[in-house]
């Protein structure tokens, strides 16, 4: 890998970020109705203000957010602020800053995503590899069938089902929150167990919806490798089936599976956010 390749890839990355930021800037402003203005009008109307007062408040808010400036200046400020990771003030959570809201929620999202994805990856990979191996008991394939079925259900839909069954009906888990409102956040056993209790349902929805896809991918890789020369050579050496499975079949199939793990994290983030909301 040379420096030129790295620079080209980094340049493509910057162009994609710029296009996404530009699209995010233009879409609200190209809408027939200004969504920002409508949000402000809706918020002011809840306070019982008159029409004249509402217009005055809206103009004041537009000045605060810089919406009264020319479009080109708004765009320049928008891009320059994003380059400094300054996303401004949140309209829905005024006057909180967007970066503060992100930093409060980001550790919870990353923790939920990493733990649940790694569990689903390990379990799904092992189940898929075992299901493809000829000497595996039939019970593994029987266990894999419902997991593959669950993989067709979106994370948030499965989360709603689990909340209704396990939290609302059976009351085994809390309905919402990251921890009990009466628990003081601190690095102690009680707080960590409370967080674990609250995170089981969202993590379970991601794990159950992901195991099947990992298993299918690994099963296909193992099956495609059964006829390879290294498997035939290992069998000719007289190695045990278990050793052939772990040292040759599983190890060689893990490389593309691990690559898929890194690529899948970005796709799962959107579903994980919805799971947290549910």
At residue 264, φ and ψ (nearest 5 deg) are: -75, -20
Spell out the CATH class of 99-277. mainly alpha
Q: What's the confidence (pLDDT) of residue 65?
A: 76
pTM: 0.73
Tell me the two tokens of residue 129. Answer: 């590899």
At residue 97, φ and ψ (nearest 5 deg) are: -80, 145
Q: What's the confidence (pLDDT) of residue 54?
A: 67
Three-state SS sequence of the chain? CCHHHHHHHHHHHHHHHHHHHHHHHHHHHHCCCCHHHHHHHHHHHCCCCCHHHHHHHHHHHHHHCCCCCCHHHHHHHHHHHHHCCCCCECCCCCCCEHHHHHHHHHHHHHHHHHHHHHHHHHHHHHHHHHHHCCCCCHHHHHHHHHHHHHCCCCHHHHHHHHHHHHHHHCCCCCCCCCCCCCCCCCCCHHHHHHHHHHHHHHHHHHHHHHHHHHHHHHHHHHHHHCCCHHHHHHHHCCCCHHHHHHHHHHHHHHHHHHHHHHHHHHHHHHHHHHHHHC
- Tens place of pLDDT per residue across the chain (278 aa): 577 788 888 888 889 888 988 998 888 778 777 666 677 667 666 655 555 566 777 777 777 777 778 888 888 888 888 888 888 777 777 777 888 887 887 777 777 888 888 888 888 888 888 888 877 777 877 888 888 888 888 777 887 888 888 877 888 877 776 667 776 777 777 777 877 877 788 888 888 888 888 888 888 888 887 777 777 777 787 777 777 777 777 788 888 888 788 777 766 666 565 555 55
Q: What's the confidence (pLDDT) of residue 1?
A: 55
Q: What's the confidence (pLDDT) of residue 275?
A: 59
Tell me the two tokens of residue 59. Answer: 């103009």
Domain(s) of CATH 1.10.3720.10: residues in the chain:
99-277
Q: What's the confidence (pLDDT) of residue 47?
A: 57
Task: Give me the residues paired with residue 97 across strands.
Answer: 89
Q: What's the confidence (pLDDT) of residue 132?
A: 81
**How far is Cα of residue 178 from the mean position of the Cα atoms in its chain?**
17
């Amino acid at each position: 890998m040379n420096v030129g390749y790295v620079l080209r890839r980094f340049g493509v990355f910057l162009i994609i970020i710029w296009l996404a930021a530009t699209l995010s800037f233009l879409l609200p402003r190209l809408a027939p109705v200004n969504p920002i203005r409508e949000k402000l009008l809706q918020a002011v109307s809840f306070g019982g203000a008159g029409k004249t007062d509402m217009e005055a408040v809206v103009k004041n808010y537009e000045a605060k957010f810089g919406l009264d400036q020319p479009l080109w200046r708004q765009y320049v400020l928008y891009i320059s602020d994003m380059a400094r990771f300054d996303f401004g003030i949140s309209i829905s959570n005024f006057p909180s800053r967007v970066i503060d809201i992100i930093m409060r929620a980001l550790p919870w999202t990353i923790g939920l995503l990493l733990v649940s994805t790694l569990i689903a990856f390990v379990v799904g990979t092992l189940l898929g590899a075992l299901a493809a191996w000829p000497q595996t008991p039939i019970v593994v394939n029987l266990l894999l069938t419902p997991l593959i079925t669950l993989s067709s259900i979106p994370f948030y839909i499965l989360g709603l089902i689990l909340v209704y069954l396990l939290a609302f009906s059976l009351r085994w888990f809390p309905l919402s929150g990251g921890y009990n409102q009466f628990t003081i956040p601190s690095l102690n056993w009680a707080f960590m167990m409370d967080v674990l209790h609250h995170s089981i349902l969202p993590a379970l929805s991601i794990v159950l919806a992901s195991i099947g896809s990992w298993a299918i991918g690994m099963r296909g890789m193992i099956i495609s490798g059964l006829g390879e020369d290294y498997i035939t050579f290992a069998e000719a050496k007289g190695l045990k089936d278990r050793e052939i499975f772990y040292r040759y079949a599983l190890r060689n199939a893990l490389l593309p599976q691990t690559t898929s793990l890194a690529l899948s994290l970005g796709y799962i983030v959107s579903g994980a956010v919805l799971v947290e909301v549910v």
